[in-house]
Structure 1
Amino acid sequence: MNLPLNTSANPSDPVAQARYNMIEQQIRPWNVLDASVLELLAVVRREHFVPAAYRSLAFMDIEIPLLGSNAEQALRLGHSMLAPRVEARMLQDLQIAPTDRVLEIGAGSGYMAALLARRAAHVLALEIVPALADMARTNLRQAGIGNADVRQADGASDALAEGPFDVIVLSGSVAELPGALLSALREGGRLGAIVGMEPMMRFTVARRQGERLDTRSPWDANAPRLVNFPEPSGFTF
């Protein structure tokens, strides 16, 4: 059953209409039915986390370039925002709690960190590209979000000292679940990542249960690679 939400369109406001269309035509049909997630998408202004040159694309079902004048190169390098439906379903499946301490690898423009911060106690977002780290900090500050910190760091090697975490989110893809990050989960903690090789990747959630990790891979999605995580021998991305 669809629950009533504060996502109603305002015909006199084209931005509000575009946001409403994104939620109702892209995100809800992709099995994102958690009312609190849909409300959050209506509240956190995605367009404020998109570079001015691409703001007209803010609500489209695409990855949006974040750096440079060459959009194709930015997308190839992973300097981009994930598609809205992917971000929304990741958020839904990770079931963020108000007491959670969250680590995000790949801050990008700060949008996912903003969504996470509205649900969690605190978010630490690591971003390896200095210009993106600066962008994310600025966007989060301007959005009035005070419980998310962005650090310029390599998420593949610099995250362990900051743990443990209740939730770890990889905002990009990896070839396999990273063992080092899995070890940074608290009991009951969840790690979510898009895992695999093109053309077939799957969003995978791993939950720590004592010495065991319970994993599930509920849906398909391709995403740009996060750098410096292990790749199979002989593989070039």
Structure 2
Amino acid sequence: MDYAIARRRMVEQHIAARGIRDPQLLQVMQQIPRHLFVEPALQNQAYSDYALPIGEKQTISQPYMVAVMTEAALLQPDDRVLEIGTGCGYQTAVLAALAGQVYSIERLAGLARRARKILDSLGCRNLVVQVGDGTLGWPDQAPFDAIVVTAGAPEVPQAYLEQLAVGGRLVIPVGPQDTQILKRIIRLGPDQFDEEALLSCRFVPLVGQAGWSPSC
């Protein structure tokens, strides 16, 4: 498979054709080798527009959803971004290509190690991956200009709202486990937030103290 051609088709057919307009985002997603973030047996499916398993009952999100969430975060080159759910590291790589610094938290140590190895091999240096409970955020590094959550939460964890900078954007799927609504929440002031529903989606559960229990 010619992966460069596959990436171009992915961007043209599954992302740009569905309304994503940010030229820098489109360029980044055409450059990052998504197939490296999945198992060899699945690499020929990496540029199709659906989620794929990455082990530990987790998935790599479909390309369109990665694009929607990233565009919704309204990233600027000097932004400090918190990502909840490193997973395989693909979304992390997209964020790191568009922002100044990315702090990513992964609950599962095996996934975090594998993602870090792939990200290092691609020369991604402006990011830190930590193993921990992502529902608590990363208070030592707050505030953040953007927070991107790649798992579905039963409700918005208070820690995320507290750790957003004024003007910061939180992009998070919220709702029951069978379906969620992707929301963008912008912090307008110390106690003022603007919330917008973007689209219906389905993510793996956000597990942790302020999320779902591991048994769910």
* Alignment TM class, shorter chain as reference: over 0.9
TM-score w.r.t. structure 1 length?
0.84
What root-mean-square deviation, in Å, do the aligned CA atoms of Structure 1 and Structure 2 show?
1.7
Q: Aligned match of 2:98 in 109, 112, 119? A: 119
2:163 is the alignment partner of 1:219: no
Amino acid at match of 2:121: Q
Q: Aligned match of 1:35 in 1, 23, 38? A: 23
Aligned to 2:143: 164
How many pairs are equivalent?
213
Aligned residues of 2:104 and 2:128 also touching (Cα < 8 A)? yes
Aligned residues of 2:25 and 2:98 also touching (Cα < 8 A)? no
Q: Tell me, in whole angstroms, the C-alpha distance in 2 between the residues paired with 1:121 and 1:16.
A: 26
DSSP-derived class of the 1:183 partner: helix
Amino acid at match of 1:194: P
Q: Tell me, in whole angstroms, the C-alpha distance in 2 between the residues paired with 1:105 and 1:174.
A: 11
DSSP-derived class of the 1:172 partner: coil
In structure 1, list runs of 5 or more residues that go unmatched: 1-12, 68-73
Please state how far the C-alpha of 1:45 moved relative to its aligned partner: 1.4
For 1:102-113, list aligned pairs within 5 A. Answer: 102-113=81-92
Please state how far the C-alpha of 1:219 moved relative to its aligned partner: 1.5
Amino acid at match of 1:62: Y
Deviations 1:19-50 (A, max 9, x none): 12211111123221221111111111111222
TM-score w.r.t. structure 2 length?
0.92
Q: Tell me, in whole angstroms, the C-alpha distance in 2 between the residues paired with 1:49 and 1:230.
A: 26
Q: Tell me, in whole angstroms, the C-alpha distance in 1 between the residues paired with 2:102 and 2:142.
A: 12
DSSP-derived class of the 2:206 partner: coil
Q: Tell me, in whole angstroms, the C-alpha distance in 1 between the residues paired with 2:197 and 2:136.
A: 25
Please state how far the C-alpha of 1:199 moved relative to its aligned partner: 4.3
DSSP-derived class of the 2:136 partner: coil
For 1:17-96, list aligned pairs within 5 A. Answer: 17-67=5-55, 74=56, 77=57, 79-96=58-75
In structure 2, list runs of 5 or more residues that go unmatched: none
Question: Cα gap change, 1:157/1:192 in structure 2, threshold over 3 Å: closer, same or farther?
Answer: same
DSSP-derived class of the 1:161 partner: helix
Q: Tell me, in whole angstroms, the C-alpha distance in 2 between the residues paired with 1:89 and 1:171.
A: 12
Amino acid at match of 2:103: L
Deviations 1:36-89 (A, max 9, x none): 11111111111122222321121112211112xxxxxx4xx3x11111100011
4+ runs of 1 displaced by more than 3 Å? 229-232
Aligned residues of 2:69 and 2:171 also touching (Cα < 8 A)? yes
Aligned residues of 1:140 and 1:148 also touching (Cα < 8 A)? no
Aligned residues of 1:191 and 1:206 also touching (Cα < 8 A)? yes
For 1:7-22, list aligned pairs within 5 A. Answer: 14-22=2-10
Choose 1 or 2 for highest CA Rg: 1
